[in-house]
Every structure is written in structure tokens, then in C-alpha cells.
Chains A and B, each alone.
Chain A
Amino acid sequence: MPEVAFWQGNEAIAYGALAAGCRFFGGYPITPSSEIAEIMAEELPKVNGRFIQMEDEIAGMAAVIGASIAGLKSLTATSGPGFSLKQENLGLAYMAEIPVVLVDVMRGGPSTGLPTKIAQQDVMQARWGTHGDHGTICYSPASVQECYDITVKAFNAAERYRQPVLILSDEVLGHMREKVVMKKLDPTQLVNRKRPNVVPEKFIPYLADPKDDLPCMASFGDGYRWHVTGLTHNDWGFPTNNPEEIEKKMKRLMRKIDRFRDDIVEYETAFTDDAEILVLAYGSVARSSLSAVNEARSRGIKAGFFRPVTLWPFPDKEVEKLARKIKTIIVPELNCGQMVLEVERAVHGRSKVVAQSLVDGELFKPDQIFKVIEEVA
């Protein structure tokens, strides 16, 4: 019998993390994400986990990196200003290849912005916020149920691909209550990082298996020697200025995500078979969008719906394929036009792309999107 709960999105993320095996949370309270920290503070000690409230978001990110290196699945959660503060340490996690999950419950920005209002302004920051090149895995849930399910997926992806995985939730989703069914997870559904399969003397910490470009990860205290650094390093983890070694590391960092792109990318569609107009939306906006598309269909307009579940990697091939037979793609976003750039890049001019921006702190109402569908129809 599955257990059923009536949760906020933030609660679903916290319990999803616990179900995924998360046993450490390091973070700092910030609206509208604080409930995640509060639940972890209460629940982690009950499962022999550890919650630490850090002195700021920078420290929160650093602590989860440390905890992950020590061997625990680790989570941190924040919102806009905190996401900005975490960026440098996020880069460290990409460089040192440390699995962690970071949740950003998006609010309006820039700066302190709108702490209690919804926005989707951190989409490009999620991709490019920290300096330097790296692959990004970023999920965008659109329901409370999905908050739970995606958090499990995010931990699995972090463990499998040995890097930080981001979840971009938003203020509405974080505080909205919906029914959640907690499916029983058996151990085979949970991924754990690859452990070294050689004796400590033979261990080369960043030597990747050519089959997957992923090195095995030891934990501190296991007896395996591992030099962890944010400096560009060679297979032994030591800083290097050797052009060959530098290129090898950088190319592999990108490749370990690129080659599994099709495994990672997720999306949802509705009414796309005969659609002439496509509404592409993510997060809470996807809910208003689907409602608008249903309304259009009921009035005989051939509208379809596309929702990237992974914002990064972006489902560009899939969007491109659809664009071949679609006249117009509408991209409603709670920002001044971020993901629409990615859609334009993907469709190569095959269909017209219309940006619809809303930056007043409110969520789109379905009829606002429906109106644009009507205009382009």
C-alpha cells in the first residue's frame, strides 16, 4: 500500500531526499525554501543523519561538499540570493566531481528581490552561474508529486554522474499543497556512487573508466588516498599545468554528461501529434500552460504542449523535431526571456518562436496564455 500525503512542494523535496538516502543537510534559512531545512532538522537525527545550519549559504554549500566526500548523500536548499552565494563552491563540486543535490526555490530577483513571490529568473544562472565550463543537470518539477519523485532522481543522477545536480523549484510549487503518493522504493531504484574496486595502493582517484568517463569515488577514511582540489588536476587529483592533462580533464568533465544526454533528458508532451501551435513551459508555469492548451483544444485550435523536465540538458533534439511541423512556439516564462533563447537555438528558425514574459511576481493565469494562443492561431 503506497502511503499518501498532502504536502507542500518543499515538504515533498525534503521527504524525497530522505527516501533517496540523503543523510546530511547543510544550509541556511532563506524564504521561500526554509521549510526544507526545518524538516531536515527534525527528520535527519531520527535516521542517524546530520543536519547543520551553517553561518551562510557559502558555508552551506561547502559543508555538503565535505559531507559527500565523507560518504553521505547530501542536500542543500536555498533561493535566489543564496543560490548566488553558493556559486563558487558549486564550481568546486563540478571540478572535484562531488555528488551533491542543490535545490533552488526560485523567487524574484535580482538581489533580495521578491522573497515571497514566484519567478523563474535563475534558469540561466543554473547553467552558467559558476565560472568555467561544465555539464549541468537541472530538473524542474511542476507538481508536488514530482517534487518528491524528482528529488529521488536528482540524488540518483548526482551519484551516478559524480557531480552536483540542481532542482529548480519555485515559490508557488514550494508552498502549494497537493496529494503525494510515496511509492515504495526498493534498493535497486537507488543509485550509489561507484566505489574503488582496486586495493588502496593501486587507486588513481580521477582515472575514469573509458566506458563511462566516470572515476570511482572513495570516501575519507576508507584508506584510499585522494587529493581533493579546485585547481585543475590530473588523474591523481594533483594540480597540473600540463596542457594535455588539463585538456583531458576538461573534455571529460563535459563528455561524462554529453554521452549520457539521452538517458538524462526528460520531457512531457500533450496534443503534439497534430499541433500547429506549441506552448513550451516548465515549473509552475507548465500548469497554467496546459490549462490554456486544453482550453484552446476545446475551441478547436490545434495547440500542443511541451514541458522540459530537465532544463539542462535542454531537450533540444526533441524540440527541433517537433518544430519541423509546428508553425509557432509560445514560451511563457516568469523572467524577461531566458529559456526562449534555448528554444530559438534548438529550432533553427524552423518555426516562429514567441516569448511571453511576466515579471510582476505573479504566476500566469491560464487565460493570459490562452490569449496569446488565440492571437497566433
Chain B
Amino acid sequence: MAIRVKDYTNKQSPLSPGHRLCPGCGAPTAVHQGLMAVDSPLVVVNATGCLEVSTTVYPFSAWRVPWIHTAFENAGAGVSGVEAAYVALKKRGKISEDIKFVTFGGDGGTYDIGLQSLSGALERGHDFTYICYNNQGYMNTGAQRSSATPRGTNATTSPAGSVVPGKLQKAKDLTAIAAAHNIPYVAQTSLYNMTDVAEKVKRAVETPGPAFVNILVPCVLFWGIDPALQQDICKQAVETRFWPVYEVVNGEWKLTYKPRKRVPVEEFLKPQGRYRHLFKGEEGAKMLQQAQADIENDWVKLLQRCGETWTPEE
């Protein structure tokens, strides 16, 4: 489903400028790039989080499409109701248009408190797309750890200190969990490449039945990065294989980008303030080794799932 960005440059984004998200925030970019190539009329369901709170500051809304804010834990259930009502209204001839339903949730509202609600919606088979804009922490409430926060991260509820080097647990593999629901389309991507995000979300939306897209986006404030580095940091996440990009279509796993050269994880971690402590002392060095080991292990597993033998050049 190749798309040409040029074809969409004049298309209005469902999210207008003037919202209150931070400069360099990855969440609005995920919305713009993701929905860029979607041609159908949309309804957006938004879980509580930065995207919700900062795009709807009274008396303004930045959304140009029908939009509903649920609570923190129930975006999956909320969209289920909206989609089911649409199906019923359509059947009775009250709606003639083909409307698509897209849900946005951060990693807190998706990996943690909203997982049950998401799982239920995926299993019931509603025709909708769930997009997780994953910035690896509870950034709206001040950078607490989430189950998407990587090992070794300094977060306010997993603080790095002289004894404990930040979060000790590995991030949950939510994309694989979504794929385990045997739904027609699952994808993982990041803001490293505009067309990849646009193509995957377009495919997700146009696929009948439930679809899930996990997009790694930076939080400028709590990743501690230069706002201008949004795309670069995402690129490093993909090149270091810290965040491999792939899709799972009807159960078939496929790598959608193969990094040519082997790039050490430090290239992704070093520019970020939340990993500053890893570049000091013995404990930090151990955590860096661990981070690289995690990547290698996950890569082997992913290759197996994809039936690939690709290894980046040294």
C-alpha cells in the first residue's frame, strides 16, 4: 500500500494547529502523519492523556472531526460502543456514509490501565483502529514509569540513584500482545519515516475488523531531548533495533525495515536526559550492556517470527 506524500500535502489534518502540546512533542506528529493518508470520514476516540488534555483546552478544540474523550481506562470500550451504534444505525438506514473509527491512547492508557478494555475490543472484533502513541511513561502526570518504560530509565516512580539504576523491569511487548488476539492487522512503527507511519495507519484503518498500531513517539520534556530532534531520535530507535518496525497481517509477521548497519544502543540513549545516569560509573555500564543484550534477544525472537535471517553489518 505505497503512498506518495506529495498527494497528501494539501490535505487538511484532522488535528488543527494551535493545540497546546509541547514543541517537538511526538503525539500530534503521530496524529498528522498517521491520519494523513486516510480518506474516509473519521470519528476519533481519545483516552485521557496529554493528547486529549492539550488539544481541547476550553473553549477551543483542535479536532476537526467528531471526537470523544472517554476516561483513562476505557478507550477500547468507548470505541466499541460508538462502532456498535454505527453498525446498528447503518443497518436501519440512518447513516449512509462509510465511517472509520480511530482511537488514540498513550502508553499509560494502553499498556497499563486500558489494557483490559483494549483486549476486550480486539477480541469482540469491532471495526476500528487503536493507535498507541507510546512515549514510554506517564508524561501528563510528571514522568512516572509505565509498563512501556524501558529498563534503566530514570522516572519519578523508578528513580535512578546511587543504589538502584532506574527502572529494573523490561518494557512489556504490547505489539505482540495485540497480535496474540489474532486480529487482521497489527503494526509497530515510529516517527522515523513519514510514509511508514502513514502507510501503516492507512492499512490499519482500511482493514475490516480491529487493528492496532504502536507508534514510538518522543516526549521532549521527559526524554530530555532537543525539540528539533524528534525525527532523529526516532530514527536512532529504529536503527539501533531498540524499536524494530514490523507488521503482522493476518498472523503473518513481516519486518518492514531492515537496518543495514549495526548501531549500538548508546546512539539512541545518549542524547536523552532520562539515561544520563547510565553513562556514569560501573552500574551504568552494566545497564548499557543489559540494554544491548535485551535488543539482541528480542531481535532473534522477532526474526524467528518473521521467518528472516537478516543481520545488520558490523
B106-164 contacts to A, CB under 8 A, are 112-113, 115, 138, 141-142, 144-145, 147, 156-159, 161, 163-164
Partner of A34, one of B53, B142, B147: B142
List CB contacts (< 8 Å) of A80-120 with chain B: 81, 85, 111-112, 115
A interface secondary structure, majority: mixed
Quick check: A53 and B158 within 8 Å, CB to CB? Answer: yes
Q: Identify which of A36-44, A222-230, A252-260 touches chain B.
A: A36-44
B127 vs chain A, min Cβ distance (A): 27
- Asked if A204 is an interface residue, CB under 8 A from chain B, the answer is no
How close is A255's CB to chain B, nearest CB, in angstroms?
37
Within 8 A of B (CB), among A151-209: none
Beyond A37-B144, A111-B71, is A55–B156 a contact (Cβ under 8 Å)?
Answer: no
Q: Is A130 an interface residue (CB 8 A)?
A: no
The answer to whether residues A29 and B157 also contact, given A45-B164, A55-B112 and a CB cut-off of 8 A, is yes
Q: In the complex, which residues of chain A have a beta carbon less than 8 angstroms from the beta carbon of B69?
A: 112
Asked if A31 CB lies within 8 Å of chain B CBs, one says yes
Write the nearest CB–CB distance from A310 to chain B, whole angstroms.
Answer: 30
* Complex: A286 Cα to B163 Cα, angstroms: 43
B55 within 8 A of A: no
> Bound complex: CA of A42 vs CA of B164, how far in Å?
10
Q: For residue B112, which residue of chain A has the nearest CB?
A: A55
How near does chain B come to A109, taking the closest CB pair, in angstroms?
Answer: 11
B-side interface residues, number (CB < 8 Å): 22
Contact B157 A37 (CB under 8 A): yes
CB distance from B177 to the nearest CB of A (A): 13
Residues of B within 8 A of A37 (CB): 144, 157
Interface residues as binary, B17-29 with A (CB distance below 8 Å gives 1, 0 otherwise)? 0000000000000
The answer to whether A41 touches B72, judged by C-beta atoms less than 8 angstroms apart, is no
Q: How close is A360's CB to chain B, nearest CB, in angstroms?
A: 13
The total of interchain contacts (Cβ-Cβ below 8 angstroms) comes to: 50
A41 in contact with B157 (CB, 8 Å): yes
Nearest opposing residue in chain B for A41, CB measure = B157
Q: Which of A22-72 contact B (CB under 8 A)?
A: 28-31, 34, 37-38, 41-42, 45, 51, 53, 55-57
Question: B239 at interface (Cβ–Cβ under 8 A)?
Answer: no
Q: A29-B142, A38-B144 are in contact. Are A45 and B72 (CB under 8 A)?
A: no
Asked whether B48 is an interface residue with its Cβ less than 8 Å from the other chain, the reply is: yes
Report A-chain residues with C-beta under 8 Å of the C-beta of B157. 29, 37-38, 41, 51, 53
Which B residues, 1 to 29, have Cβ-Cβ distances below 8 Å to chain A? Answer: none
Bound form: Cα–Cα A53–B145 in Å: 8
A55 to B169, CA, bound (A): 14
Q: Are A112 and B71 in contact (CB under 8 A)?
A: yes
Contacts of B142 in A (CB 8 A): 29, 34, 38
Query: Which chain B residue has the least Cβ–Cβ distance from A46?
Result: B163
Closest chain A CB from B158 CB (angstroms): 7
Task: Report the separation of the CA atoms of residues A81 and B71 in the bound assembly, to the nearest whole angstrom.
Answer: 9
Instruction: Give the size of the chain A interface in residues (CB under 8 angstroms).
Output: 20
A323 and B144 alpha carbons, distance in the complex (Å): 48
Q: How far is the CB of A231 from chain B (nearest CB, A)?
A: 24
- A187 to B164, alpha carbons, bound, how many Å? 30
Specify the chain B residue showing the minimal Cβ separation from A53.
Answer: B157
Asked if B73 is at the interface (CB within 8 A of a chain A CB), the reply is yes
Partner pick for A56 among B113, B144, B159, CB 8 A cutoff: B113
A56 to B145, CA, bound (A): 12
Contacts of A28 in B (CB 8 A): 112-113
Whose C-beta in chain B lies nearest to the C-beta of A40? B157
- Cross-interface CB contact of B159 among A29, A41, A57, A81, cutoff 8 Å: A41
Assess whether B112 is in contact with A56, with CB atoms less than 8 Å apart.
yes
- What string of 1s and 0s marks CB contacts (under 8 Å) between A119-144 and chain B? 00000000000000000000000000
CB distance from A55 to the nearest CB of B (A): 4
CA distance A45 to B141 in the complex (A): 22
Chain A residues, Cβ within 8 Å of B145: 53
CB A35 to nearest CB in B, in angstroms, measures: 9
Residues of A within 8 A of B156 (CB): 34, 38, 41
The residues of B with any CB-CB pair to A shorter than 8 Å are 48, 53, 69, 71-73, 112-113, 115, 138, 141-142, 144-145, 147, 156-159, 161, 163-164
Q: List 26 A-B contacts (CB under 8 A).
A: A28-B112, A28-B113, A29-B138, A29-B142, A29-B157, A30-B141, A34-B142, A37-B144, A38-B144, A38-B156, A38-B159, A41-B157, A41-B158, A42-B161, A51-B157, A53-B144, A53-B145, A55-B112, A55-B113, A55-B115, A55-B147, A56-B113, A85-B73, A112-B48, A112-B71, A112-B72
Closest A-B pairs by Cβ, 5 of them = A56-B113, A29-B144, A55-B112, A41-B157, A38-B156
Taking A29-B142, A112-B71, A115-B53 as known contacts, 13 extra A-B pairs with beta carbons closer than 8 A to each other, sorted by chain A number, are: A28-B113, A29-B144, A29-B157, A30-B141, A34-B156, A37-B144, A41-B156, A41-B158, A45-B163, A51-B157, A53-B145, A56-B112, A111-B71
